[in-house]
Amino acid sequence: MPSSERRLMRSRRHRAFVAALAAGVAMLLTASPGTAADKPPARSLAELDEAFAAAARNLARRATEAGDESLAAMISDWPLPAAGERQLVVQIPSRIEKPATVDTPDEETVWNDFVAARRTRAAGLFDHAVFVAGGHDRTLTRDERAKPAVDAPPLAQRSCEALRLLHEALRDDPHHERARGAGGWVKRDDDWLWPEAAKRLDRGEAYDPAFGWMPKARLERYRSGERFDRGRWVPAADDEARPRDVKHGREFHSDHWEIVTAASLADAAVLAEKLEETRNAWRQVFGAYAFEPADLEKRLAGRGRTPVHAPHSAILCAGRGQYVSELEPLEPRVGMTNGIYWTPTKTIWFFTDEAADPPEPDPITIHHEATHQLFTEGRADAEKARQQAGERCGFWAIEAAACYMESLQATGFGWTVGGRDAGRAPAAKDRLDEEFYVPFAELCGLGRTAFQSHERLQQVDSQIAGQADFLMNGEGGRYRESFVEYLARVYQGTADPDTLARLCKRSYADLDDAYRRHLQR
């Protein structure tokens, strides 16, 4: 076939593809900002997925024909795997960046069509996020009241699902302005940043993963091998060689943490990366905790504001000995821990120990303790509660959520959280096999002191990790909204021993049975 005919055929296929996308966008736009939130979007989630899968197959074939196998693989691998009985946490870039391998007109056309297909799907996902966020006060139809679905979630609110759809939309289209605004980002030039980072950028600071945020002139001197120590500049080698105590520790500022380190700046940089990773995952897994359902609905409708939060506080000690000596006067049992969130000062503490197995601070410990901090500082009403969270009852849920976040595992698309084979969930199954089990009714009645003094606390800790996995992922995530709402009430100090049962609309005996089935399948 002459090259002119091949170009004509490619042009026709491209025009047909663009026309199909335009039709899809037009259909989506009819269900976008002007459509009432109580009306479902024009295309179902299944239809959006099917349309994108068909487009991806076509685009991957065209990329192969154009000679770019890496682009073909990228397109083929783009759809997310089925979540199954775990949660998917997606990595969201600050912008869409074209691969360096895309360097011919044919490859450019395929790439542009791929981006267009992603944006079409993102628009549909966001419409669904807006719709489900309004479900908290939707009136049931007569048929729904007469014949309620057997597997229907017990709560009307679907904040967790709304946030899942929001973040998946941003994975497809990181430039979706309404989704970015609802998710809390702000724009600077062509990049989307957290407002805390944007504030630093606006006042003339710059960021380097090795040194954190600091004024540009100071950062240049750090990059050239100098360090600022007690009012004077010294060589980096001299600074690193001098032992530090916590009071005179170095500072490392990430987007959301202020770290004081008696260890090296390199150690602080690694800690900062893991803390920010935990926050990114927590926002997708437990982010609904931070909002009342009506407030989340407003944000998705474009009526919310994006506040700038004060940084979280973290301290990194140079070894276990320093860690224990600093904290033992406050917490006599600190020697039994590898990290701690100290609620009175809202600070998480870690220490370095490269000889430990695994080396400290272990990412699992970081995920656990940072989760405590994010919950405690993630809602104003939780921070202002008159008593410590879980003091009277429900303390188990605080630890269960932190244990659940220990299961965070990196993937090609971001991370997964949960699963009966992840984190401490296998140990929870072992407890059942050993016929050890503390029923929900008993756990929900325990306050902080009673829980922490349990005679078999180690076994209880592994059990509650399994119970968190059940409540987040069991029966298709049926109780996820209920558990997140329960956590909010525990942290607010308004939970009572029967709150979880009421939120799940199941007796504790029924939940015990369902939990056993979840782990022992």
- At 30 the pLDDT is 42
Look at residue 84 and tell me if it is in a domain.
no
Q: What is the mean pLDDT of residues 111-131?
A: 97
pLDDT (tens digit per residue) in 445-466: 999 999 999 999 999 999 999 9
| Domain shared by 392 and 372, yes or no | no
| Domain shared by 325 and 461, yes or no | no
- Rounded CA gap, 11 and 117, in Å? 17
Instruction: List, in sequence order, every beta strand (DSSP E) within 96-253.
Output: 186-188, 191-193, 205-208, 212-215, 226-229, 232-235, 250-253
- Rounded CA gap, 367 and 155, in Å? 28
Q: Residue 196: count other Cβ atoms within 10 Å of its Cβ.
A: 21
Look at residue 189 and tell me if it is in a domain.
no
When pLDDT is cut at 50, 70 and 90, the band that residue 13 belongs to is low
Residue 411: which residues within 8 A CB-CB, separation 6 or more? none
| Domain shared by 333 and 439, yes or no | no
| Domain shared by 370 and 431, yes or no | no
- At 342 the pLDDT is 96
Structure tokens at 270: 């690694």
Q: Residue 262: count other Cβ atoms within 10 Å of its Cβ.
A: 24
Look at residue 17 and tell me if it is in a domain.
yes
3-class DSSP string for 394-454: CHHHHHHHHHHHCCCEECCCEEEECCCCCCCHHHHHHHHHCCCCCCHHHHHCCCHHHHHCC
Of 324, 351, 378, the position where a domain reaches its end is: 378
Cβ–Cβ < 8 Å for 40, 25 = no
| Domain shared by 219 and 359, yes or no | yes
Residue 18 has pLDDT above 80, yes or no: no
CATH code of 286's domain: 3.40.30.160
How many CA atoms are closer than 13 Å to the CA of 338, on its beta-carbon side? 16
Prediction pTM value: 0.90
Range 419-433 burial, b when 16+ CB lie within 10 A, else e: bbebbbbebbbbbee
For the chain, percent of residues with pLDDT exceeding 70: 89
Domain range for residue 22? 3-79+96-173
Q: Residue 364: in which H helix or E strand, if any? A: helix 363-377
| Domain shared by 247 and 317, yes or no | yes
| Domain shared by 212 and 325, yes or no | yes
Domain tally, the chain: 3
| Domain shared by 18 and 147, yes or no | yes
Terminal-residue alpha carbon distance, the chain: 58
- At 438 the pLDDT is 97
| Domain shared by 519 and 415, yes or no | yes
Look at residue 426 and tell me if it is in a domain.
yes
Look at residue 58 and tell me if it is in a domain.
yes
SS3 of 192, please? Answer: strand
| Domain shared by 470 and 348, yes or no | no
When pLDDT is cut at 50, 70 and 90, the band that residue 146 belongs to is low
When pLDDT is cut at 50, 70 and 90, the band that residue 31 belongs to is very low
pLDDT (tens digit per residue) in 241-282: 999 999 999 999 999 999 999 999 999 999 999 999 999 999
When pLDDT is cut at 50, 70 and 90, the band that residue 148 belongs to is low
Residue 62 has pLDDT above 50, yes or no: yes
